[in-house]
Amino acid sequence: MKQYLVPYRIRLGAQWTMVLLNVVAGLSIPPMVGAAIDGPITNGDLVGLWRYAGVVAALGALDALLSLTRRYFQTTTAMAIEADIRDVVYGHLQRLHTGFHDRWQTGQLLSRVTTDLGMIRRFFAGGMVFLIMSTFMITLILAQLLWIEWRLALVVAASAVPLFLLGRGFFKNFLPAARAEQDQSGEVSSVAEESALGIRAVKALGRGPLMAARFGKEAAHLRDLGIRKSYIASRSWSAFDAIASASLGTTLILGSIMVANGGLSLGQLSAFIMLQLGMLWPIEAAGWVLAHGNEAMTAADRIYEVLDTEPAIRDRPGARARDRSAIRGALAFEGVEFAYDDDDRKTLRGVDLAVKPGETLAIAGKTGSGKTTLVSLPSRLNDPTGGRITLDGTDIRDIRLDSLRRAVTTAFEEATLFSMSVRENLALGRPDADEHDLLEALRVAQAEFVHDLPYGLDTRIGEQGLSLSGGQRQRLALARAVVVRPAVLVLDDPLSALDVHTEELVERALEQVLQDTTALIVVHRPSTVALADRVALLHEGRIAAVGRHSELMESSPDYVEVLSAESEEVAA
Amino acid sequence: MTAPVKHDDKHVAWRGRAESVEAERTSAELDDAAAIKRLRSRSRSLLGWMMRPHRRAIAFLVGILVVQNFASMAAPILVMVAIDSGIPAVRDDGDYSILVGIGVAFAVSAVLEYVSLRLYIVQSAKVGNAMLYALRNRVFWKFQRLSVSFHERFTSGRVTARQSSDMESIREMTENGMDDLVMAGLNIITITVVMLVIDPLLAAVTLLTFPLMVMLAKWFSRVSAIAYRRARETVAVLIVYFVESMGGIRAVQAYRREERDKEIFAKLNTDNRHAQAKGHHQNAFMSGGMKGIGHLATVVVLLFGGWQVMQGNTGVGVLAAFLLYMKRFFDPLNELVQFYNVLQSATAALEKLSGVVDEEIEVAEPDEPRSIECPRGEVRFDEVEFYYREDQRVLPGLSLHIPGGQTVALVGATGAGKTTVAKLVSRFYDPRGGTISLDGVDLRDLAEADLRDNVVMITQENFLFNGTIAENIELGKPGATREEIVEAAEVVGAHEFIEALPDGYDTHVRKRGGRLSAGQRQLVVFARAFLADPRVLILDEATSSLDIPSERLVQRALRTILADRTAIIIAHRLSTVEIADRVLVLEAGRITEDGPPEALIASGGDYAELHRQWEDSLV
């Protein structure tokens, strides 16, 4: 956490100094008023009174001004720190591998960059300032108490012992409670997000009430955790109050006895008590401040949980950048194995496959044969758990990630579109693409419907491109991949949602693009196979056969089973 | 076509232009003064709705605070008694009884304070959390009932923002502040009374500062409402961007979007920071101003009171006491200023939420729902008109009768209106003209639960929820047994791959089903729909992600399943169409061909041509 404060150390120092000055200014007004009453007013000195009033006015103005400026800068600084950390967390999340994101619900991540950071901010702007102020005040007051009557002051100071013990117990219980509440608040956000994103699935089945019941359960749990937290808080906060009162009572009784015995003057006792009254509220509020501090601590823990996760996919030491133009596009899988981390069985069990520069290779295989896993490997969205993949003979892990992904572009079957302009969605992988590139890509993907949108390329398309049809979304995703003009293009069933006619048009246009591009295409249908020079059949995690479509149709019964529509069903 | 977005404004251009300016708002949130006034009153009534069930608990809490307030006043009185009577008694008579009494009184007040505070903390947390719970549920349920078209423009990120950030803002208000409010209120009342009793003239002088304070508060109320309203919007945009880029992380990484994303996010983050800071800065001014007014009052009373003392109109003691009370009058006000800030922020959040709560539901549940006694699955379109945008009519007036049990395939070019027909039957939208009925009952009169029991649509979207495979299939029929779930999976041919997963049916699908391929997700969705066992099944490109062997299995299953139910199938793969009893060719929202597939092929029309193309593609 400290590293985020360092850039603001001067500001924070200035601020905290202002806080102290503010306390001093505030505390110096009553004595001046007292002096005015004792002096000029009692003596009937009108000129003197004006003088005192002037001093009080000046101090008051200073107090108000300090209060204004310190609050102003307190929030400015706290918010700047909050925003800094948010940027860092976001950047880090962007680098974390997809395996991490598969496991973490978006709501959990979101609650970290919003709610948790908010708690940290509030602590810096509120609780911490208060802590400094009250520590300062208590010290000042305690010093005066010691000056007046040290034995009584020690009695007051002794109340620090139970306060400390209570505070420690509070920490032990409150921390896990605060943490549980924060975690649950992330769950609630997750359910809210998921049920909005899946609204059509929910509506199509009429499961709104079920979803509401589920959400209600999570929300009820959050409510109960909030209440549980208050039980813990109530035990110590109210004890803080009681101890402060008891301490006041004790000094009053002891002090009265000392006065009665002549050990203390009446004036001294009343001064002592008055001062001690001034100590009451900082102690009473200590519980509240501690709670804020605790919440900020667990919030920071939650954020560090994410920040401390290292991206599993990163540059190896000594990885080198590759110039896009120098890449020929020879892609080879050498004994590639892959297993999900929770599965001891391998999805890919030794894939050997070589794609020549400029060649288009189709991959066919039954559901679950590992096709989708396979195509996630060349651009390192996953890393193989065994074997290696090479690009122009170099292990792709020795190529700097950004230059690898510049050379190898992957488009998934599911077209992820963002709530942004069509232009921005298309230029996702090549921000410098010009109008001509975009139009050309739209033509290749037969996505010219874009021109009929209300604002053409500048139209904002909905989340996931919701207002577009599946076929339109898929064509935009394809156009997006084409815009990049990569050396190696990896497409996961890119035409599945297109009708036969459009598919044919796309294929014809795509052929030109694929001429000088290495391509790896997952296919489900014979029509898409037409794009490929060769086809590889993936069967139970291995390449079972490679060859031309017509060859495989003759030599491989498995291939026929996977790709031939000439089944009894269709013929019927 | 309208003018393109200005590209020199690089930071805004990426968002593109929404079809309508209201895209990100509920219709309640307009900018004009009257709308804002309405919004304020709506948010107040929402707050009232939240508090109403807890009236008694809130009254009880106020009671506790009053007790606490008096307990805290006991200390000065006890000190006075000790000094005035306790000490002389000990000194003169060696009588400790008064001091003992004071000790007991202190002990009692400490215990009372302990008990009342403890009670207050727990009770207020209960009330606050219960109010939030009710609000969360109400908003959630409202979002669930709002139409698909609403969600399409509002986006899930914004829904999440309402449920997280806005709720958080309200939580902050319920957590801290009510005690400040009540305590300050009590203090102000009691001390005003005391001041008036001690010296009415000086009290009047003090109260003269009131208009100043009111003016300051009004100023803050006005400007901070604008600032916090804006802050609610900037934070929502930030959340939308965050949620979408995390949801689409694969695309982000595959296209090396990280840097651009960071750049845009940093900009949104900065916008939000400035928007949030604005309200807080205004609050700093108000806080400084309040202190200044308090000090000004002190100076005026000191001068005026001092002069009065010199004139002999009042005593020194009175002035001294008065000045002390003034301090106790203004100090809690400063606390209140902080609470006012939190309140303003929460009000802005409440405005947003009340906008959601009051949003009109386009596809509303009927007031007097009718139900279908024994559903046959007969679907009828009568002169149905539909458009998404008024200038582009999708269906100009479609009439169609599908008898119960018939399997109908819709074919036609992209944009012919096939999906629209599917969405209308599942009532994602209501027709703009004409009626659609199921077994003779207008869909708009049909109870939601009845409609959903009878009509289920599968799309290519394949949405999987967080949870296991079994849980995802079970959604089709909540409470289904494991046997039923397995059976459904077996029927659609999903059983084999599910069994091969590490934990079989109990394998967690991970976020959005990231564990599975698109084809696998589609099979799970199929199993889910089959388990639902509806009278009318709509398949909108539901087999597009399947490979041929899986498709074959699904088709075999469909033949059995669809035997006794109505089905509407949209598929560009005519293999799926061939199981239909009847094919409709749609062109620009009109039916151009209608008949059994064989007959249409023989007739040599558009369908015959499509069929020929498709057969060519198989080779």
- Which of B164, B316, B552 faces A115 most closely, judged by CB atoms? B164
Query: Dihedral through CA A324, CA A328, CA A330, CA A336, nearest 10?
Result: -20
CB contact under 8 A, A471 and B151: no
CB contact under 8 A, A68 and B288: yes
- Which of B163, B302, B549 faces A189 most closely, judged by CB atoms? B163
Q: Which of residues 314-333 of A touch B (CB under 8 A)?
A: none
Question: Which residue is closest to A482 within chain B, CA to CA?
Answer: B255
Q: Which of residues 342-401 of B touch A (CB under 8 A)?
A: 388-389
CB contact under 8 A, B133 and A222: yes
CA distance B253 to B378: 48
Cα four-point dihedral sign B469, B474, B480, B486: negative
For residue B84, what is the DSSP state?
A: I
Distance from CA of B44 to the nearest CA of A (A): 23
CA A414 to chain centre: 24
Query: Regarding predicted confidence, which is higher, B178 or B356?
Result: B356
| Tokens 């749609």 belong to residue | B586
Q: Which of residues 8-47 of A touch B (CB under 8 A)?
A: 29-30, 33-34, 36-37, 40-42, 44, 46
Contact B457, A199 (CB under 8 A): no
Contact B300, B205 (CB under 8 A): yes
- Which of B140, B165, B550 faces A212 most closely, judged by CB atoms? B140
What does the block give as tokens for B412? 């036609």
Chain A residues near residue B256 by CB distance under 8 angstroms = 402, 405-406, 429
CB contact under 8 A, A569 and B298: no
In CATH, what number does A96-184+232-311 get? 1.20.1560.10
In single-letter form, the type of residue at position A466 comes to L
Does the pLDDT of residue B592 top 60, yes or no? yes
Q: What percent of chain B has pLDDT over 70?
A: 95
In single-letter form, the type of residue at position B441 comes to V
Phi, then psi, of B458 in degrees rounded to 5? -110, 130
Chain A residues near residue B523 by CB distance under 8 angstroms = 367
| A572 pLDDT tier (thresholds 50, 70, 90) | very low
Tally Cβ neighbours within 10 Å of residue A561: 14
CB contact under 8 A, B114 and A98: no
Phi, then psi, of A319 in degrees rounded to 5? -65, 140
| Tokens 């033509």 belong to residue | A443
What does the block give as tokens for B33? 């003064």
Query: Regarding predicted confidence, which is higher, A499 or A481?
Result: A481
Q: Which of residues 308-337 of B touch A (CB under 8 A)?
A: 309-310, 316, 319-320, 323, 327
Chain B residues near residue A114 by CB distance under 8 angstroms = 164-165, 168, 235, 239
Does the beta carbon of B513 lie under 8 angstroms from any beta carbon of chain A? no
Cα distances (Å, whole numbers) of residue A461 to A468, B387, B571: 8, 18, 24
CA distance A23 to A1: 28
Among candidates B183, B545, B78, which has minimal Cα distance to A253?
B78
DSSP labels for A31-80?
HHHHHHIIIIIHHT-HHHHHHHHHHHHHHHHHHHHHHHHHHHHHHHHHHH
**Residues shown for chain A:** 572
Query: Regarding predicted confidence, which is higher, B551 or B118?
Result: B118
CB contact under 8 A, B16 and A98: no
| B10 pLDDT tier (thresholds 50, 70, 90) | very low
Distance from CA of A516 to the nearest CA of B (A): 20
Contact B323, B298 (CB under 8 A): yes
Does the pLDDT of residue B176 top 60, yes or no? yes
Cα angle B302, B304, B306; round to 5:
60
Q: What is the pLDDT of residue B27?
A: 55
Does the beta carbon of B18 lie under 8 angstroms from any beta carbon of chain A? yes
CB contact under 8 A, B548 and A340: no
CB contact under 8 A, A49 and B307: yes
- H/E stretch holding B228 reads helix B210-247
CB contact under 8 A, B500 and A233: no
Phi, then psi, of B588 in degrees rounded to 5? 50, 45
Among candidates A78, A65, A77, A53, which has minimal Cα distance to A26?
A65
Q: What is the pLDDT of residue B133?
A: 97
Distance from CA of A284 to the nearest CA of B (A): 11
* Residues contacting A166, CB < 8 A, separation 6+: A236, A239, A240, A243
CATH architecture observed for domain B20-358 = Up-down Bundle (1.20)
Q: What is the pLDDT of residues B209-268, one digit of tens each?
A: 889 999 999 999 999 999 999 999 999 999 999 999 998 898 899 888 899 999 999 999
Please tell me whether residue B435 adopts helix, strand or coil conformation.
Answer: strand
| Tokens 């008579």 belong to residue | B93
How many beta-carbon pairs below 8 A join chains A and B?
569
Q: What is the pLDDT of residue B72?
A: 73
Q: Which of residues 237-266 of A touch B (CB under 8 A)?
A: 237-239, 241-242, 245-246, 248-249, 252-253, 256-257, 259-261, 266
- Which of A199, A381, A566 faces B253 most closely, judged by CB atoms? A381
- Which of A90, A222, A458 faces B16 most closely, judged by CB atoms? A458
Does the beta carbon of A420 lie under 8 angstroms from any beta carbon of chain B? yes
Contact B505, B482 (CB under 8 A): yes
Domain A324-414+486-571 has CATH 3.40.50.300: yes
| B26 pLDDT tier (thresholds 50, 70, 90) | low
Does the pLDDT of residue B8 top 50, yes or no? no
* Residues contacting B459, CB < 8 A, separation 6+: A200, A204, A470, B540, B541, B542
Give the domain ranges of chain B: 20-358, 379-617
Does the beta carbon of A273 lie under 8 angstroms from any beta carbon of chain B? yes
Q: What is the pLDDT of residues B359-412, one digit of tens each?
A: 989 888 898 999 888 889 999 999 999 988 787 888 999 999 999 999 999 988
Cα angle A161, A162, A168; round to 5:
95
Chain B residues near residue A499 by CB distance under 8 angstroms = 413-414, 572
Chain B residues near residue A91 by CB distance under 8 angstroms = 258, 262
Q: What is the pLDDT of residue B31?
A: 62
Contact A527, A500 (CB under 8 A): yes
- Mean pLDDT, range B575-592, rounded to an integer: 89
Contact A538, A338 (CB under 8 A): no
Q: Which of residues 145-174 of A touch B (CB under 8 A)?
A: none
Half-sphere exposure of B496 (CA within 13 A, CB side): 11
What does the block give as tokens for B304? 């005026």
Among candidates B251, B300, B135, B125, which has minimal Cα distance to A56?
B300
Q: What is the pLDDT of residues B109-146, one digit of tens each?
A: 889 889 988 999 999 999 999 999 999 999 999 999 99
Q: What is the pLDDT of residues A482-504, one digit of tens each?
A: 999 999 999 988 888 888 788 88
CATH architecture observed for domain B379-617 = 3-Layer(aba) Sandwich (3.40)
Beta strands in B349-475 (DSSP E): 379-389, 392-402, 407-411, 433-438, 441-442, 455-458
For the ranges A250-259, A345-354, B547-556, the lowest mean pLDDT is seen at: B547-556
CA distance B209 to A235: 41
| Tokens 């590139």 belong to residue | A437
CB contact under 8 A, A366 and B547: yes
Please tell me whether residue A572 adopts helix, strand or coil conformation.
Answer: coil
Among candidates A58, A462, A27, which has minimal Cα distance to B24?
A462
Phi, then psi, of A421 in degrees rounded to 5? -65, 155
| A330 pLDDT tier (thresholds 50, 70, 90) | very high
In single-letter form, the type of residue at position B539 comes to L
Half-sphere exposure of A304 (CA within 13 A, CB side): 11
Average model confidence (pLDDT) for chain B?
Answer: 87
CA A171 to chain centre: 26
CB contact under 8 A, B295 and A33: no
Cα four-point dihedral sign B206, B208, B210, B212: negative
Average model confidence (pLDDT) for chain A?
Answer: 89
DSSP labels for A69-121?
HHHHHHHHHHHHHHHHHHHHHHHHHHHS-HHHHHHS-HHHHHHIIIIIHHHHH
CB contact under 8 A, A60 and B111: no
Among candidates B269, B223, B263, which has minimal Cα distance to A121?
B269
Q: What is the pLDDT of residue B4?
A: 41
In single-letter form, the type of residue at position B153 comes to R
CB contact under 8 A, A504 and B389: no
Please tell me whether residue B402 adopts helix, strand or coil conformation.
Answer: strand
Query: Regarding predicted confidence, which is higher, A35 or B422?
Result: B422
* Residues contacting B576, CB < 8 A, separation 6+: B409, B539, B543, B551, B555, B558, B569
- Mean pLDDT, range A206-235, rounded to an integer: 94
CA distance B5 to B17: 7
- Mean pLDDT, range B586-593, rounded to an integer: 91
Does the beta carbon of A234 lie under 8 angstroms from any beta carbon of chain B? yes
Does the beta carbon of B76 lie under 8 angstroms from any beta carbon of chain A? yes
* Residues contacting A173, CB < 8 A, separation 6+: A232
For residue A115, what is the DSSP state?
A: I
Specify whether the backbone of B86 is left (phi greater than 0), alpha (psi in -120 to 50) or beta.
Answer: alpha
Chain B residues near residue A31 by CB distance under 8 angstroms = none
Q: What is the pLDDT of residues A23-38, one digit of tens each?
A: 888 888 888 888 888 8
* pTM as predicted: 0.91
Cα distances (Å, whole numbers) of residue B596 to A45, A101, B209, B573: 113, 48, 88, 17
| Tokens 């010290």 belong to residue | A139
Does the pLDDT of residue B513 top 90, yes or no? no
Q: What is the pLDDT of residues B264-321, one digit of tens each?
A: 999 999 999 999 999 999 999 999 999 999 999 999 999 998 898 888 888 888 888 8
Among candidates A464, A191, A192, A112, which has minimal Cα distance to B244?
A464
- Mean pLDDT, range B87-92, rounded to an integer: 85
What is the maximal distance between C-alpha atoms in chain A? 120
Cα four-point dihedral sign A133, A135, A138, A142: negative
- Which of B129, B168, B459 faces A200 most closely, judged by CB atoms? B459
Q: What is the pLDDT of residue A137?
A: 85
Tally helices (H) and strands (E) across chain B: 24, 10
Does the beta carbon of A118 lie under 8 angstroms from any beta carbon of chain B? yes
Does the pLDDT of residue B186 top 70, yes or no? yes
CA distance B473 to B495: 12
Q: What percent of chain B has pLDDT over 90?
A: 47
Distance from CA of A131 to the nearest CA of B (A): 16
Does the beta carbon of B523 lie under 8 angstroms from any beta carbon of chain A? yes
Contact A347, A539 (CB under 8 A): no
Q: What is the pLDDT of residue A268?
A: 84
Please tell me whether residue B579 adopts helix, strand or coil conformation.
Answer: coil
Does the beta carbon of A64 lie under 8 angstroms from any beta carbon of chain B? yes
- Which of A102, A200, A237 faces B121 most closely, judged by CB atoms? A237
CA distance A201 to B414: 23
Phi, then psi, of B402 in degrees rounded to 5? -115, 110
Chain B residues near residue A201 by CB distance under 8 angstroms = 461, 463, 465, 525
For residue A113, what is the DSSP state?
A: I
